[in-house]
Amino acid sequence: MYIHQYRRPHLISSRVDLGLGKVYIVLSDEVERRLRIEIVKRLGGKKGNLSAAIEIAVKDWLKNAP
């Protein structure tokens, strides 16, 4: 598994390679902070919960596509 993070003053971007697919995203610091807090509240602080939350959100978004 390969994880690389770039930090800029107002943005965080992460690139993750699990051999299954790659997704590169850029979030503002505020959105990232709120997302991580909500993930801990809903799913706990375990490793992998960020990926799980993103997968849930993407599946929900795709399911509700017009």
pLDDT of residue 66: 84
pLDDT in tens, 1-60: 444 555 555 555 555 555 666 677 888 999 999 999 999 999 999 998 998 999 899 899
CB 15 within 8 A of CB 22: yes
- CA 66 – CA 54 distance, rounded (Å): 20
Q: Which two tokens stand for residue 39?
A: 């993930």
Q: Which two tokens stand for residue 6?
A: 């770039």
